[in-house]
Structure 1
């Protein structure tokens, strides 16, 4: 009896083993084959190159300057070993600061990253090319081609073009592509059209060995990005800077009255865009933010200003629309109009007589329009002004209008 029980248990055990073998080798073959395939195929995203910003004649306003980055192998624990590599880099590029390179490495190195760590983000192409081989002979150092945003004209049209800056954690969370590019548009066209300029990442799939050595390229989809062509004319933009001269603050807009194109526009004072790409020094930043003329304020769209005498023709239309005045109604033009104990002055005190709208516009009489507006009232004036764009956003493709 005991022998029968033993044989029965043995038979059950073998049946279970055979069932499991059948399941693993036949039924689950496709599943494990897929896992094996995934383990042998390495997939990586390729960062897109940021698109250019061009003027209406395809002259470059924002481009990508070619150069090199210097990278050191990851996971170096001993300071002596790291210092030896950094000393080698500094011996080839004496203008670099060894202490700063070591700080860059310790800040960016991570046990979760297997790639080389960038210690120098960008070096000039021509300067690096002649010394390339001296660094590449060291297996722990990698020199890689890269690019940096360049604004060829520095501060020209700075409030229109805008600039890019390093992406932070919030940027990466909202826009995953910035994890690859490391940069995002911060102002102007760079910000407004960031998605187009930034582009779409590519993908590279390679077959690798168990030691992560590449065997063959399986598939590659190249990244893509778009250039942005503006209505701005570079030469006219230069002329605006010349025409503004030594005045401290203000704004100029040149528009094609037939179709609304902005041919040139500038907010003064302007500021150099290039320092923002890799990070502006604290001293320069403090000077900019403490400047009483507010160079960071885009006076074209980011502030409200009295419209000046350009409003007078539209005010005249509001007067006529109210049916309280017509083109021949006389209104006094004199030195000032008093209201609430305050004197609102005319630009001149040499006029003192009744005039019609035609002469009021001809002489640009302020008090004519003060008195007319007082009688017509804001409720009748506002709809007419809004119809002609006063106090209404234009919808221009610049951020924060």
Structure 2
């Protein structure tokens, strides 16, 4: 019996041994083959060169300049590390202490990648020092690219810039781990995933010392290019116009289908400052500049729209059936609501005015009465439909929605009731009402054509063209009302007494609307207002002029906002005229 037990144990032992051999050699063969391959085969990912950006005429406006980085193997210590850093410092005049700190910051037991201690060295320097540095096996020189913006200040608000990626960037897109840069602001940020391109790779067979024995497979990285709808020459022309007259503000030049040709902020900044890392002093100067050069004013700047909203309100009133556009209404220098006077911009008033005169001369008291008749909720809901109070959808980051106030908005925001005096302020584009210059331009395009465009600045991604998006947001009554409103806007720029007539000198006929948006309130006890030029700069009103042309066959919208510029016609009329004449002279507008 004892012999049988021993034999049984021996049998079980050898059975398990045979099964284990079978498992290792047959059943787990594929598993261990893959593990074995990982020991001698590795994949090296290759980032694409960041996509080049062109303007509409094919001029490069964001390019890559060949540079070189110097990297050091990780886990170096003591004398070996000091000797390596010293040899680099001697040949490049780099600060050894800064390189040492950068190395220590990235060095860890878990990091097996070379550590960059110097970035963006120029070609001519690298060609001189490479023969000496290549003698040290701890040093690696790798090619890289430095983003350059040839247009500098002229396109910085549109393009944005690139800089070193942060943790959030790395989480957002795995490709950034290999490029180590990401887009900040503007087109560079909005289209960052496209501009990063697609990773390439090569599969290598290496030995135990990680030396490459053979490359088994390769795939080239893929870069993508962008072509903007922006004309960089026009952009520069407008910027220099504002600079010459020292007028801070924003300009939008857009086809009526939403294609943007110019999107200007003045003053602006040089986006090249950010690529290699901006100094604290330079950043502080930009961030605390009272004229806010870092703000993309056409897209992110919020301003009271002033009288630029009056054409849209006139169309809303006419289409409602509650307002007779032909009826002449008495428009004195103010109207009394409760115990408060709401004054017209002209102290003695405008006499009798119909809708045409009300638009032509920007008659405040006419629109006060219109607001009382229709009510704020009705006006606000229709203004939202016509482009105000929400983002336009432009392909740029940080666009603001603006505010079209109504009773519900105030209750939600301040937990307070709406007062009738707030309606008076809102209908002349004041009070809580805020809009971006781009929203005003989009609303002007709607009035000109009857269609609400979605603006865009990227015309092509590689060879794929952006198709214009036009929304049909108006009913037939509203479209019919626009015909009357357009006539009033023609009178603004062409008829005697029009608020812009004296200041418009264009080679084509245009239509438009001026606006003067106060930035501080005038007490009731002040009987006589100061002239704009008598006020301190930051107390002056913002000046608007939004236009479309040619009048009969609208092709372009030009919207100009001059911060603290005073009256819209005088502050912006000359600039608008210059822009239309430039468009005409360069073949954008044909007879």
**TM-score if structure 2 supplies the norm length?**
0.63
Q: Does the 8 A contact of 1:331 with 1:371 survive in 2? A: no
Residues of 2 paired with 1:61 and 1:339: CA distance?
55
C-alpha deviation, 1:236, in angstroms? 0.4
Structure 1: distance between partners of 2:337 and 2:97: 68
Answer whether contact 1:322 1:380 (CA < 8 A) is retained. Answer: no
Give the match's secondary structure for 1:92: helix
SS at match of 1:42: strand
Residue 249 of structure 1: aligned partner: 248
Secondary structure of 2:26's match? helix
Tell me the CA shift for residue 219 of structure 1: 1.0
Q: Secondary structure at the match of 1:69?
A: strand
- Deviation of 1:366 (Å): 2.9
**Contact 1:314 1:385 (8 Å CA) reproduced:** yes
Asked if 1:180 is matched to 2:200, the reply is: no
**Residue in structure 1 matching 2:331, options 330, 333, 342:** 333
**1:45-82 alpha-carbon deviations (Å, 9 max, x no partner):** 2222211221111212212121000111211121x332
Task: Quote the Cα distance in structure 2 between the aligned partners of 1:27 and 1:324.
Answer: 86
Cα distance between partner residues in 2 of 1:192 and 1:31 = 43
Aligned residues: 398
| Alpha-carbon spacing, 1:248–1:283, altered in 2? closer, same or farther (3 Å) | farther
Residue in 2 that maps onto 1:293? 291
Higher RCO structure, 1 or 2 (CA under 8 Å, sep 6+): 1
Q: Is the 8 A contact 2:242 2:248 kept in 1?
A: no
Aligned to 2:191: 193
Tell me the SS of whatever aligns to 1:396.
coil
Aligned to 1:129: 127
2:308 counterpart residue number: 310
State which drifts further: 66-75 or 119-128.
119-128
Return the alpha-carbon distance in structure 2 between the equivalents of residues 164 and 232 of structure 1: 20
Which residue pairs with 2:23 in the alignment? 23
Secondary structure at 1:251 match in 2? strand
Unmatched 5+ stretches in structure 1: none
Within-5 A mapping of 1:136-285: 136-245=134-243, 246-247=245-246, 249-257=248-256, 259-285=257-283
Shift of 1:284: 1.3
Measured in 2, the distance between the counterparts of 1:125 and 1:57 equals 30
Contact kept in structure 1, 2:235 and 2:262, CA below 8 Å: yes
The change in CA–CA distance for 1:372 and 1:207 in structure 2 (over 3 A counts) is same
Structure 2: distance between partners of 1:227 and 1:140:
36
Tell me the SS of whatever aligns to 1:164. strand
Q: Aligned-pair distance for 1:110?
A: 2.1
3-state SS, counterpart of residue 85 of structure 1: helix
CA deviation digits over 1:169-225, x for unaligned, max 9? 222223222211112222111111111111222222111112211111111122223
Distance 1:341 1:68 in 2: 73
| TM norm structure 1 | 0.91
Kindly report the root-mean-square deviation, in angstroms, between the aligned alpha carbons of the 2 structures: 2.3
Uncovered stretches (5+) of structure 2, i.e. residues with no partner: 400-591
Show the counterpart of 1:381.
379
Matches of 2:136 and 2:377, distance apart in 1: 77
Which stretch of structure 1 is more off in the superposition, 11-20 or 292-301? 11-20
Q: Which residue of 2 aligns with 1:86?
A: 85
Distance in 1 (CA, whole Å) between partners of 2:155 and 2:191 is 16
Query: Contact 2:350/2:363 (CA < 8 Å) preserved in 1?
Result: no
User: CA offsets per residue over residues 70-95 of structure 1, 9 Å max, x none?
Assistant: 111211121x332222221122112x
Maintained 8 Å contact 2:55/2:228: yes
- The answer to whether 1:400 aligns with 2:398 is yes
- Superposed displacement of residue 145, structure 1: 0.6
Residues in 1 aligned to 2:346 and 2:24: alpha-carbon distance in whole angstroms: 98
Change (3 A) 1:337 1:46: farther
Does residue 1:37 correspond to 2:37, yes or no? yes
Q: Shift of residue 38 of structure 1? A: 2.3
* Residue 478 of structure 2: aligned partner: none
Q: Which residue of 1 aligns with 2:47?
A: 47
